[in-house]
Amino acid sequence: MAKGKIIVAIDAGTTKVCTLIAEIGKEENIHIIGVGVCPSRGLRKGVVVNIEEAVDAISTSIEKAERVSGYKVVSGYVGVGGSHVDSLNNRGVIAISHGDRAISHDDIERAVEAARVINIPSNREIVHSIPRQFIVDGQEGIRNPFGMIGYRLDVEAHIVTGAVTGIQNLVKCVHKLGVEVDDVILEPLASSEAVLTEEEKEMGVVLVDIGGGTTGMAIFVEGSIFHSAVLPVGGNHITNDIAIGLRTPFAMAEEIKVKRGHSLSSVVDPEEVIEVTTFGRNQKEKVSRSQLCQIIEARLQETFTLIQNEVKKSGYDSLLPAGVVLTGGASEMAGIADLASEILQVPVRIGYPYGIQGLVDSIGSPSYSTGVGLLLWGAMFGEHSPARPFGGKTTPRKSGSKGQDGADMYGKLRGWLKAFLP
């Protein structure tokens, strides 16, 4: 494998911070050479609530990945989540003004820029503007209009926005470590690159990434993203319910959730008991396992009902024959796919990250889908950083994450579109 191209992903979530370092081979295959995981601090529901604690957690994660890989992290792709994220669909229209009327890459870029012209509050910024389809002189369903003859070019684009403070605080945490941000990427969008197949995207599918503090959603129809959202519920809400319901510390609630929890209380023996350490006593008490599972099932039913409402809100609930793909740490709960299928009335499977090589055993579970997806996104749509071994001279690149510099945004958009439109 040819050395020299390194890409880094930083997934700062509510429960853990994960840094992945990968090497891009000659055939553009992704070989993971560094993994750094540590408990998250300073983040709640996908947003930074304590900068110093968040910086410490991200620093620990990066240092672990650096020790494994032998490379110094200078820049990376960062996942963004939180319920402040919102999305909408908008259309951009331009006229083809040059004499031959053949659509150029510049025309495509102008059309996508036109779709980005939307009225949003000053406290929000655009995270993504993703073309769904192009329309040339009224002809719809065009994926790549380059070279076609026409007088008018329309583009339907999916626009993702987020709170400026939520995004900038996360970027600031990374910058404090001397690491530049190549780009910020919506977490469920990144996860979709790691777990969904092209056939599922074409048929119509919902990606549901259930993390610790939030649940990210991305709906794909006819190969393109149609709707995205982040819901303020996650695996930690289940743990908190258990802690309250069984009067046990949060750490104990998390342990019994992972070891003895099940999404369907009906399949659990009602006579089975588990031992739980309760508040106020330095001893364990026996409680019914069925009671534990009822608490889990109730919270998951609420979560899937919120997901169902969001799908209906998007208007694409009847266009999803491929069903739902669950990923994220909470998707590893026993019986969760059966419960989701029962409530949503569609096929459901658990999504595991694929398309990578190297230290796969360390990150093969659904909880690492976002980190792997960030690598895949960066490999497809970004510029790869040169390899920088420890001790070597480094030259950090300018961060284009805020999208406020016109020339930088134009250059990034051009590279991104070329990856989309070969």
Query: Per the structure, how many domains does the chain have?
Result: 2
Quick one: residue 354, left, alpha or beta (phi over 0 = left, psi -120 to 50 = alpha)?
A: beta
Which pLDDT score is estimated for 176? 96
Which pLDDT score is estimated for 365? 93
pLDDT in tens, 289-334: 999 999 999 999 999 999 999 999 988 787 789 999 999 999 999 9
pLDDT in tens, 30-83: 899 999 999 999 999 889 999 999 999 999 999 999 999 999 999 999 999 988
pLDDT over 70, % of the chain? 89
Residue span of the structural domain in which 233 resides? 195-351
Residues 338 and 203 in one domain: yes
Whether residue 25 lies inside any domain: the answer is no
Domain end point (choices 318, 351, 384)? 351
Which pLDDT score is estimated for 230? 94
Which pLDDT score is estimated for 334? 96
Residues 238 and 333 in one domain: yes
- What pTM was estimated for this model as a whole? 0.87
Closest CA to 10 of 63, 85, 88: 63
Whether residue 8 lies inside any domain: the answer is no
Which pLDDT score is estimated for 61? 97
Mean pLDDT of 174-184: 95
Residues 345 and 219 in one domain: yes
Residue 336 banded pLDDT, cuts 50, 70, 90: very high
CATH number of the domain where residue 274 is located: 3.30.420.40
Higher pLDDT, 378 or 170: 170
Residues 154 and 200 in one domain: no
Which pLDDT score is estimated for 383? 61
Whether residue 375 lies inside any domain: the answer is no
Whether residue 229 lies inside any domain: the answer is yes
Which tokens is 203 given?
């048929």
Whether residue 70 lies inside any domain: the answer is no
CATH number of the domain where residue 106 is located: 3.30.1490.110
Which pLDDT score is estimated for 420? 53
Q: Quick check: 378 pLDDT over 60?
A: yes
Whether residue 40 lies inside any domain: the answer is no
pLDDT in tens, 242-268: 999 999 999 999 999 999 999 999 999
Residue 391 banded pLDDT, cuts 50, 70, 90: very low
Residue 395 banded pLDDT, cuts 50, 70, 90: very low
